Amino acid sequence: MIRFINVHKWFKDLHVLNGIDLQVAQGEVVVVCGPSGSGKSTLIRTVNQLESINEGEIWVDGKNVTDPKTDLNALRAEVGFVFQHFNLYPHLSVLDNITLSPMRVKKMERVAAEKRAEELLERVGLAHKKDAFPAQLSGGQQQRVAIARGLAMQPQVMLFDEPTSALDPEMIGEVLKVMKDLAESGMTMMVVTHEMGFAREVADRVVFVDHGRILEEAPPEEFFMRPQHERAQQFLRQLLTPMN
Amino acid sequence: MDFSQIVPALPALMEGMVVTLKLLVMAVLGGVVLGTFIALGRLSSNAFLSGLAKAYVNYFRSIPLLLVIIWFYLAVPMLLNWITGDFVPVGAFASCLVAFMMFEAAYYAEIVRAGIQAISRGQVNAAYALGMTYGQAMRLVILPQAFRKMLPLLLQQSIILFQDTSLVYAVGLMDFLNSARSRGDILGQPHEFLIFAGAVYFVISYCASYIVKRLQKRLVV
């Protein structure tokens, strides 16, 4: 479904992505982790070309996203993206946030788009908030709306860029639960996260990135029990031992 | 001082005020639309477009409004003559309207540009990630938010324009100030009529400013 072939990216002198090769199969859930500044967020943003790349190829659903001839807008409509900071449209109600792209990009009828939006809100447990504005919601609720907004486009893949990093601890669970349900429904997912509990429970594969390279790629039990690379061992030690 | 002649003159002054307000509203609408396109041009990654927009803004912000008004009054008929081959009288109103629109667009463009830049990058990214084109992202996501933030500044600029419309006296357009001045001259009471006109400008501008400040406070909360 997603395929990175020898992907390189530089920010001026900084080599943020250094020869990434990775595949995500249909229905698979891949968690990408790594220290901050490792390039993992950049990596996931290249999939729908919110970040361009300098070298290599990225294929999504049989289309080369780095080919200038590819219709990027049509491709992005098939790839759901959930941001760290939710990025809901603050001037629109929850329902309008969800129906905007289906109506304007996919030319869906309002009635059908609203019906689908209400079903999705039901699914993320926020049916009663459809007329609220984003500022009236908690962070966890906003992120669940953002997930519903992404799903409203009926994407082939869902990408999550640190979806719980901006949340208060007590709200992380509700977002992870929605993501877990989504994974169980068979959605292809690529998730950048520090939530190792989620990775262990839901992921088919964990990918460890540092300094723009994939250093380790393994099923979760193997990654957590027997990390091969020294950097991965160090990373896990830091993550699993609380500072206090 | 004898203000008794003002009341009988009110209908004529009212006509002048209608011209002033018509000019103002049309110039604001045209100026904001044109200014928005110039702002988008300035923010464009296309060097030619952004250079052109920047030159436009800098040019019109560096010359006096009065000059623009006179220049358009003389140049627009000449240009039309040159294009169509006929002599088309455009009249003072149309040429003043074009002058105000183009002049104010430079100022509105800077306000709109700041407004767009104040919207977080995440909003554009979200719109793109959901399949929108540049045009859709701007029209549906960025500009509605930016205009909400900019509204007080745009209105403040429009109050300045309300006062500046009086410069049309240079090309003989009968706006509010010009009709008050000519009425006063005819009746031999120029001072009374000018004082009255000044009071009217003051009251309208002051009230409008006050309303804008209230609005600004409400939008902040």
For B152-199, what is each residue's pLDDT tens digit?
A: 999 999 999 999 999 999 999 999 999 999 999 999 999 999 999 999
What confidence tens digit (pLDDT) does each residue in A56-105 have? Answer: 999 999 999 989 899 999 999 999 999 999 999 999 999 999 999 999 99
Chain A residue numbers touching B125 (CB-CB < 8 A): 50, 83, 87
pTM for this model (two decimals): 0.87
User: Nearest CA to A73 among A165, A160, A153, A148?
Assistant: A153
- CA–CA separation, A234 and A227 (whole Å): 9
Comparing A36-45, A208-217, B80-89, B100-109, which segment has the lowest mean pLDDT? B80-89
Chain B residue numbers touching A63 (CB-CB < 8 A): none
Cβ of residue B216 closer than 8 Å to a chain A Cβ: no
**Mean pLDDT of all residues in A206-214:** 95
Residue A193 · residue A31 · CB < 8 Å: yes
- The architecture (CATH level 2) of B10-220 comes to Orthogonal Bundle (1.10)
Handedness of CA B60, B66, B69, B75 (dihedral sign): negative
- Residue A243: the pLDDT is 58
What confidence tens digit (pLDDT) does each residue in B99-148 have? Answer: 999 999 999 999 999 999 999 999 999 999 999 999 999 999 999 999 99
What confidence tens digit (pLDDT) does each residue in A106-120 have? Answer: 999 999 999 999 999
- Residue B74: the pLDDT is 87
Tell me the residues of chain B between 97 and 136 that have a Cβ less than 8 Å away from chain A.
120, 122-123, 125-126, 128-133, 136
User: Nearest CA to A61 among A18, A32, A30, A23?
Assistant: A23
The answer to whether the Cβ–Cβ distance between A87 and B123 falls below 8 Å is yes
Joined together, the tokens standing for residue A107 give 């030319």
- Domain borders along chain B are 10-220
Q: Is the pLDDT of residue B88 over 80?
A: no
Side chain identity at residue A26, one-letter code: Q
Q: Is the pLDDT of residue B201 over 90?
A: yes
Give φ, ψ of A83 to 5 degrees. -95, 160
What confidence tens digit (pLDDT) does each residue in A8-27 have? Answer: 999 988 999 999 999 999 99
**What 3-state class would DSSP assign to B196?**
helix
Which residues are CB-contacts of A242 (< 8 A; sequence separation ≥ 6)? none
- CA–CA separation, A135 and A44 (whole Å): 27
The answer to whether the Cβ–Cβ distance between A104 and B125 falls below 8 Å is no
Work out the mean pLDDT of chain A and round it to a whole number. 94
The answer to whether the Cβ–Cβ distance between A85 and B122 falls below 8 Å is yes
- Residue A244: the pLDDT is 46
User: Nearest CA to B16 among B163, B173, B164, B161?
Assistant: B173
Chain A residue numbers touching B121 (CB-CB < 8 A): none
Give φ, ψ of A212 to 5 degrees. 75, 10
Concatenating the DSSP letter of every residue in B148-209 gives HHHHHHHHHHHHHHHHHGGGGGGGT---HHHHHHHHHHHHT-HHHHHHHHHHHHHHHHHHHH
Residue of A81, A89, A149 with shortest CB distance to B141? A89
pLDDT band at B75 (very low <50, low <70, confident <90, very high): confident
Residue B186 neighbours by CB distance under 10 Å: 12
Q: What structural domains does chain A harbor?
A: 2-240 (3.40.50.300)
Residue A81: closest C-alpha in chain B: B129
Give φ, ψ of B34 to 5 degrees. -60, -45
Q: Which residue has the higher pLDDT, A128 or B221?
A: A128
Contact residues of A toward B, CB < 8 A: 48, 50, 73-74, 76-77, 79-81, 83, 85, 87-91, 100-101, 104-106, 149-150, 153
